Amino acid sequence: MTIRVGLCGTGTVGCGCIDIIQKHHDEFQARYGIDLELTRICSREAEAAESRGLGHLFSSDFHDVINADDVDVVVELFGGTGIAKDVIMGALQNGKHVVTANKAIMASVGEEIASYAHEHGLEIGFGASVGGGIPIIGPLKHSLVANDISSIIGIVNGTTNYMLTRMEAGLSYDEALKEAQEAGFAEADPTADVDGFDAAAKIAILAAIAFNVKITIDQVHTEGIRRLSALDLATAHDMGYAVKLLAITERGNEGVVARVHPAMIPLDHQLASVNGVYNAIYVTGDFVGETMFFGEGAGSGPAASAVMGDVIELARRIEAGAPAGSGYCVPDDCPVVPISTLEMKYYLRFRVADRPGVLAKMATVFSENGVSLQSVQQMGNKQREDVNLVFITHSANEGNINAAIEEILSLGIVTGGEPSVIRVVD
């Protein structure tokens, strides 16, 4: 059976998709009876298509792809929330299936797109939107479907994980960012990565699938890594923890919480040894227990692997005569609740004046705000007249923590401004 693919976008992922089709076409035909034919390519520049001998398929107008009679599946790789949505919705409205790697769109209007596709007997594949090539969307929709998932903890942003790995080796935040930019792992404007927005989109998508709820990126509590220092990473390490930017979603009694923030995890946890640009996603279900998916979270090959996996899966379902089994399911009526409903342990590092009575004053403030302390550690500094005080709290309410911080800052003993705050995930 011939399946005709219209490709929108010829960046690294789009070129990876062309490579897969050209390299593995005959294998797909022999194994599955699927004849994948690339019939249209849209991009700003014709160069990528031309250099692969496919200039005759090129158009710079995406309408030539989504309106074409000779396209069964539109692959949307423009990215962003601009014309990409026009491509996706336009293709569906024209009766074409869609495969996309677009996390921004799936994390904002994904439910709208998926239900439109479902109502019209069409598929929307988005396996590449989270974790690059790591199979995670598929397993959540299929292999793990017999479970009630209780939590997902992910390292889903390679840029920040690379930077934290380098900061653990002693680099400052600025040095780590510069190195990541030079290595091509970080953009000139690193905001989406370092402020956690990329991870927030991904955890919103995972939460929607795992918990079968409607959730969008703006419901994800999001903190980035800008305020972390190499000193915090070293201190955490001495205490037996690694610091990672974690994307977490949990389903509790009150509803679903999704959050992205730096967190300390024990060094013997599987996630602690996920270093560099690698990603990993840790899933806990009521029957499967704990399971983890690890791999390259970005890059041409991995993302193209996920996109083309979706295309072939779709092709095989079309061949079998049942295209609309897209894994769509009626969302549960479950609320998304704010992070303030959770109690967590906190690491707090203040730089304070090296004077008698400072620790006692701070401990009193914590106590009066209902925050119980698990440990306190003072780290002197021979070059300076102040010291670092590191507190690890017992599980505490975020409101109480913030009230305690505010009161401590007003005591006139803090020399270093806002404290470093890292949540502890045990």
Nearer to a copy of itself, 30 or 360 (CB): 30
Q: Which of 311, 342, 371, 387 binds a copy of itself (CB under 8 A)?
A: 311
Nearer to a copy of itself, 116 or 294 (CB): 294
Q: Is 309 in the site for a copy of itself (CB under 8 A)?
A: yes
β strands within 77-217, DSSP E:
97-100, 124-125, 149-155
Q: Minimum distance from CB of 145 to a copy of itself (Å)? A: 5
**Direct distance between the N- and C-terminal alpha carbons of the chain, in angstroms, rounded to an integer:** 51
Q: Minimum distance from CB of 82 to a copy of itself (Å)? A: 27
93-132 mask for a copy of itself (x: CB under 8 A)? ----------------------------------x-----
Q: Minimum distance from CB of 284 to a copy of itself (Å)? A: 10
The set of residues, in sequence order, having a beta carbon less than 8 Å from that of 184 and lying 6+ positions away, is: none
Q: Footprint of a copy of itself on residues 12-71 (CB under 8 A)?
A: 16, 19-20, 23-24, 27, 30-32
Q: Is 273 in the site for a copy of itself (CB under 8 A)?
A: yes
Q: Minimum distance from CB of 303 to a copy of itself (Å)? A: 9
Pair type for strands 58-59 and 124-125: unpaired
The set of residues, in sequence order, having a beta carbon less than 8 Å from that of 244 and lying 6+ positions away, is: 155, 161, 164, 262, 263, 265, 271, 272, 274
DSSP conformation letters of 351-376 = EEE--TTHHHHHHHHHHHTT--EEEE
- Residue 381 has what DSSP assignment? -
Nearer to a copy of itself, 277 or 371 (CB): 277
Q: Is 399 in the site for a copy of itself (CB under 8 A)?
A: no
Which is catalytic among the residues 103, 202, 214, 244? 202
Q: Is 384 in the site for a copy of itself (CB under 8 A)?
A: no
| Size of site (CB under 8 A) for a copy of itself | 62
Q: Which of 37, 175, 313, 407 binds a copy of itself (CB under 8 A)?
A: 313
Nearer to a copy of itself, 132 or 190 (CB): 132
Distance CA(253)–CA(256), nearest Å, equals 8
Is 202 a known active-site residue? Answer: yes
CB 371 within 8 A of CB 393: yes
Find how far residue 407's CA is from the centre of its chain.
Answer: 34
With 0-12 / 13-18 / 19 or more C-beta atoms within 10 angstroms meaning exposed / middle / buried, residue 17 is buried
Sign of the Cα torsion 182, 184, 187, 190 reads negative
CB 320 within 8 A of CB 398: no
Q: Is 296 in the site for a copy of itself (CB under 8 A)?
A: yes
Nearer to a copy of itself, 231 or 247 (CB): 247
**Among the residue ranges 52-60, 170-178, 321-329, 373-381, the one whose residues contact a copy of itself (CB under 8 A):** 321-329
The 3-state DSSP class for residue 248 equals strand
Q: Which of 44, 63, 120, 142 binds a copy of itself (CB under 8 A)?
A: 142
Tokens coding 25? 């076409």
CB 401 within 8 A of CB 340: no
Q: Which of 112, 218, 332, 418 binds a copy of itself (CB under 8 A)?
A: 332
CB 40 within 8 A of CB 334: no
Q: Minimum distance from CB of 332 to a copy of itself (Å)? A: 7
**Binding residues for a copy of itself (CB under 8 A):** 16, 19-20, 23-24, 27, 30-32, 127, 133-135, 137-139, 142-148, 212, 270, 273-274, 285-296, 299, 301-302, 304-309, 311-313, 316-317, 319-322, 324-325, 329-330, 332
